[in-house]
Structures are given as structure tokens and as C-alpha cells.
Structure 1
Amino acid sequence: MPVHNRIAAFADDLTAWRRDLHAHPELGLEEHRTAAIVAEKLASWGIAVHTGLAVTGVVGSLKVGTSNRAIAIRADMDALPMEEANGFAHRSTTPGRMHACGHDGHTTMLLGAARYLAETKNFDGTVHFVFQPAEEGAGGGRMMVEEGLFDLFPADAVYGAHNDTSLPVGEMYVVAGPNSAASDRFTIHIDGRGGHAARPHMTIDPITIGAQIVMAYQTLISRRVDPADAAVLSITQFHAGSAGNVIPETAFINGTVRTMKPETQDLLEAQMGAIAKATAESQGAAVRFEYARGYPIVMNNPDATERAAAAAARLLDPARVHREKPLTLGGEDFAYMAQKVPGCFVRIGQRGADGVGAVPVHNPKYDFNDAILPLGASYWATLVEQELARS
């Protein structure tokens, strides 16, 4: 697996940084320790540091030469609100917090590239190292853009990456067009009439009403969405009741909707609201349906994608730089940055031959594969040296 020799020489440092971040996970907009470490390292390498965008965001800017060309590279920093089930020495030290998506690795790879580029300065132009908070739901990418990220740090293009546990080490996905789904959330509040479980006829049971709504929703993808399209509707919470002999007054349901087309997004929002209303009202209950549109689709710009692929092919066998990939419906708030300037979001394989790095993200046994840290850092360095090449 080819990497820059200088980056290979400090690979042990990368592993130490990544494991320290893993052991100290912080949720979105709370990444104070992580942001302080990032800012301190960037400053120690002579990189100009700006803090405060989206509360805990950090941007490091490195200008070399006289060119006005500039690119931005983004890494996310936040962890997830879940308990870690691993037993290794660098497991989370914070109960209920875990780096279960690899953002500790993403941050470390970009730090590795920043260190190398600050030392070698083998380019002409400006690179902005964007360390973004709150990717896991709070929309830190949107916040940074709205607070003037690209006004303060103008860029010709923006690039991002994510580890991929299904793809072998030494391979990448670099694919133009849609790469992640629109990610929406919904909630349903059902107000019935509670009472004794032995006298259900005197109640309006929000549990049975909620169950009917849940089952009706299962037909939307199979019967209302074009089979050639892709969409997911998942119920993730159903809360009601507090005792075995009481029919509760209320029930609460929520979940997520993932779509790849705006018209499908519109269809599902309308149909879900209509089903909830009709089902509840038919049984005398009141219902409140709320649908919140979240991250938009990540659209990789064709030109930026070709440039990203060319950089990947400088490191890897071009046959291992895949230009098509299976469709997945995860959400990613890099989308907001790619809406503002041309962007490309790539996937870096982390599944080792021995099974290391193969546990899926958002799993309590997940861990980032440290073997790809030098590769990821070398990829970013190669991209910068390619895009900001000396004339």
C-alpha cells in the first residue's frame, strides 16, 4: 500500500493521536478537547488557525507561494451517543459516548496531511484544513457554511472522505453524482384516551392506532415508490405506557426517511402525514405529525470527482479506484459544503484481510483501522500537490 515516505515515518504518531481521540469521544458541538488538540497541532506546524465556526469547528489555512488557487479538505470530529462494547486499551473512557463511525480516524488523517504539507510545502496556493463538528445529526456542515466558511476561506473545490468497512484496505470509491441520501426525520404524537386495561371499550387506545400507522407505513416503499428508485422508511422508536394494566393516554413514534430523489421525498412526506391523520381520526384520536428535512443528497461534482480519482490513482492501482459503487442510503452533511462549491466525497476501504476494520459503523464493537491512517493522509497530500502543483 503506497504512502508518502515522510508520512510512513510518523505512522506511529498517527496511531497514537487516533487512539487518544477514540478514548475521549465528544458529541456534536461539544468537541472542545478534540478541537483544542487539532488547533494546537496545526499551530505548532506553522499553520494559521481559526476557531469558533459552528461552536467547535477549526479551520487551518496553509498558504505557499503566490498562486490564488485554493482547495478545502474536510474531516468530521464528533462521536455518537452510544456505549462502546470493545475491551481494548483505547476504548472510550466516557460512558455513553463512542467513536463508532470513524471520525477519530478522519480527523487524524487530515492532521497527518497537514503535518506533511507544512513540512514539505511542495505546492503553490492555499489549502484549508476544515475540521467540522456535529456531523452526526446536528448539521455542523450546514452551520459552518451558514456562518461564512467559504466567505472567510474561499476555495475552488472542497473534498471529504469516509472510511468504508465493506471495502478492502487499498481500495477507494470515487464516484460522480449522488453519493449519499437525503436524510429526514419524523415524529408522530398520538393523543387518545387512557383507562383501565380491562375496559378497553371506554378508551381510545393510542398503542393500537400507532401499530396500525407503523404497519401502513411498511407498504409505502413497496407500493408507492417506483421499484427502480431507492428509499428507506425506518421506525426507530415507539414509546407508550407505564403499567401492565393501564391503557395509556398517548403514544410517540419516530424514525427516519432516506431518499435519492426530491420527488420521492415529497411523496413520502405527504403520504405519511395523510396516513397518520386518517388512521388516528378514524378512531377518535388526535395526532400531530412532524416531518423535518435533514441533510440533502451529497452530489459529487463531475470535475472535482475526476480530480479526486486522478489523485487516488497516483497512490493506488487504478483498478482499485472504483468509479461505481453499490447504492447506500446513509446521510452526510458534507452535502452542504458541496452545494456551496464544487465538491467530491470519497470512500476509503478499511477492511483488512484478517477481518480488522470490518465491523460496521454505528456498531458498539466498531473501531477504525489504524492501518489506513498513512494512506488517508497520503491521499490528501497527493490531492493538494496535484491540484496546487507548482507551475
Structure 2
Amino acid sequence: METATIHDERTEEGRRLTLHGRLTVRVIEDISPRLREMEDDPVPLTLDLGGMKRVDTTGAWVLYRLVEHRTEQGFITELTGLTPRIEALMAQVGKANQMTTIRHPIRKRHFHLLARIGAWVEGGIYQFGTFLAFLGLTMLALVRALMHPRRLRWLAILRQAEVVGVSALGIVGLMSFLVGIVIAQQGAVQLRQFGAEVFVINLVGRITFRELGVLMTAIMVAGRSGSAFAAQIGSMKLAEEVDAMRTIGMPPIEVLVIPRLIATTIAMPLLAFYGAIMAIVGGTLISWLQLGIPPAIFILRLQEVVPLTDVLVGLIKAPVFGIIIAVTGCFHGMQVEGSAEAVGEKTTAAVVQSIFLVIVLDAFFAIFFTALGWA
């Protein structure tokens, strides 16, 4: 690659520099320091550019800076051998060399707050639309898999069912047992004022089978399994394993989402019923110890005051909650991109949104079943 060469000679009139070759951005790094040294040399300077083959904007800027700096200090500088192109480039560079003032945008506090609210609303609407699209794709994939059972990965479904259901029996049972104790104990304290301690059985039975059994179980599954779904799929996204699946013809939704969805949908009713039974056990124990109600009397009274519709309400809500938890966890896992930090962010978002959606759906179910007369 041909570069510029400088021939430096001293004459009686001063100093004469003769440049040959190219003065472009690719070679300016070698020439610019030597020309920069001459900016503060008071000796009259003659710059001969007749041998230059090519000068681009960067070269023109170096020449313009040399002449401009020496002129400002009162040093004599003369350019010879200028071609019209070089002269035009130096003129354009000179016009662009203007002082500018950067004004930072002034945002009023109220407008800034409105902008943040607008951005939050826009992001929420976009996220909600993306979630609905993912939910639709998942439902379509589920229908296709159910129509062709051979496409279902039964080993993966059983594995996920074990992780979501069997492995959660301990924590769900303990939590439900303690919740039953708290409900019975606090209910007894309040009902004792009216001499109606026996109605603790009504309180524990109905609220457990109808609401708290399935709701607390769903919250535990969302925090335990929903977060795991998001983290697992998110890590696979970062490792480009999801893209590899697409490359070899394996649909990621069918391979990763459907087994988790089916397993969670099946496990949730079983866990909810198990959680309700453990809450009843806790309520029975505290009623026996604190109120003197024998377990046999508690169970007989429970059969009288808890209608079958309460049990059905809990069992109907449970699989819907399971679908929401599984889809939300997998959706946020699929949204991971960038760095490992995104895995943590999406995992947190998966848990928060799953619990939020579960509570919102529970409120809708309460209104719906009340309208049906199942109150």
C-alpha cells in the first residue's frame, strides 16, 4: 500500500516540505505526527503538494489544521501545487470547523413522569400482546400433539410431573398444614366471643376446599416450578440450544413447553386436593387441642357443612391455574436474550406475573361461580 512521503529541506527563505503519494485515512497515522510538530515551528513554511496522488477528507483536515494553527500564531505558511480537488476539500473542512453549543433537553418534571407512564403502558401492552401470541401458539401445538399422541414426549411429561408434583409434596403439605392451623386458631379466637367455636369447622372446611387450598398451592407452584421453567429455558436460549432445535427440525414449543404444560395441568389438581386435605388435618389438630373437638366429630361435621360444589370449584380452578403458571414460566424463558442477567430478570418476572394472573383469575372464578349459585 503506497503511503505519503515527506521531503524536508532548509532554504534561505525558511523550511520547505514536499509531499508525495497518498494522504488518506489509512496512512494518516504515520504522517499526522510529523505535520503536527510543525504547527509550533516559527520558521516560514512552504508546503508543496504537487506530488500528491490522492487526498481524502481526513488528509485535507490534517493540512487545514496545520495551516490554520500556524496562521493563528502569525507564522508564515504557503501551500503550492494545490489541485482544485484538494483546495475544495480543505474549504469544506474549514466550513465544518465551527464551534457548536450542545443543549441538553430540558424535561419538565410532569412531562417526564407522563413519559415514563406512557413507556410503561406501551411496554405492558406489547408484553401482553406477545404473551397472547405465545399462548395461542402453545394451544395450537397442544392440539396438534393431542391429535397425534405419538408426537408427545411421554418421558419428558413424566419427568416434569415428578418435578412439579411429587417433589413438591413436602413443601405444599407443610405450608397447607400450617395454614390450616392458623385459620383454625384465629377463627377460634374470634368465634369464642359468641360461643360459636364449633363453626371453626365450617370456616376451615369451606375456605380450604374452595379458595386457600388451590390458591396457596398455585402460589407455591408458581414460585417453585414457574421460576424453574423460566430459568431452564432461558439458559437454553443463551446457550443457543433452542436455535439448534429449530435447525434440526424440532419445534421448541412442542419439545420444551408442551411437556411442562401437560405435567403442570395434571399435577395442579392433585396438589390442590392434597393441600386442602393437609390444611384440614392442621385445622383438625388445633381444634382437638385448643377447642376439645375430637377428630371424629370434626370429620362428621365437615361432611355436613362442606358441599360437594366447594370441592368441585377448587378442582376446576386448579388445572386452569396450572396452565397459566406453565405458559407464563415458559414464555419468559423464551424471552431471555443478551446476557446471564436476563435469566434472573425473566425468572423474577415469571414468578410475579404468574402469581398476579392466578389471583386475578381467582377473582373472576369467584364472581362466575357465585353467579352460577355455587356460593
Shorter-normalised TM range:
under 0.3
Larger relative contact order, structure 1 or 2 (CA cutoff 8 Å, min sep 6): 1
Query: Computing the radius of gyration over CA atoms, which structure comes out larger, 1 or 2?
Result: 2
Structure 1 or 2: more helix by fraction? 2
TM-score (norm 2): 0.20
Structure 1 or 2: more strand by fraction? 1
